[in-house]
Amino acid sequence: MNVNELTAKTIEATKDKKKSQDSVLSWVKFILLIIGLFLVFRYAIGITVISGNSMAPTLGNKDIIVTNNVFFTPDIDDIVQFRDVHGFDAIKRIIALPNDTVEIVDGVVYVNGDKVKEVYSTGFPNDMELVKVAENSYFVMGDNRTPGESLDSRNSEFGFLPKERIKGELVFSLYPLGFK
């Protein structure tokens, strides 16, 4: 074997080794990408299928929504995803903040004595005596205000929604497509 043949074989072996290293590196990058996407969808972004009509007409049964689970501060009119009293994920609208007062008179919701402008709701809710929202909690309601359609803060079993149970806020609907 002469020097040229030996050099050619060495170059070929080096190329094969480089291809093998590139292949391993590609797989490592792919696995890291999958892990990264899993973490984003597990902790930062939520995709949820709506079950029921408590948020109609805003959100309907089997609508698919995306929630932001990291960078948000709950506020009036936000639609939030949370763990309910039975351990299931639920979606409701924030009506009142901590220390606000809420009452319903003749089907009209009042927060701190002011009538709430509700262009998004449907149905006629039952009256409710004045309540003061607890510290670090929120008063939430479904947009479907028809009695019996939404288990929400009007119900004594449900009560106020503690801040620590809120998982995220609605960003947009995937199906049907729409933005908040």
Active site residues: 54, 92
Structure tokens at 38: 């899993």
φ/ψ of residue 6, rounded to 5: -65, -45
Cα–Cα distance between 113 and 99 in angstroms, integer? 13
Half-sphere exposure of 109 toward its Cβ, with a 13 Å CA cutoff?
Answer: 24
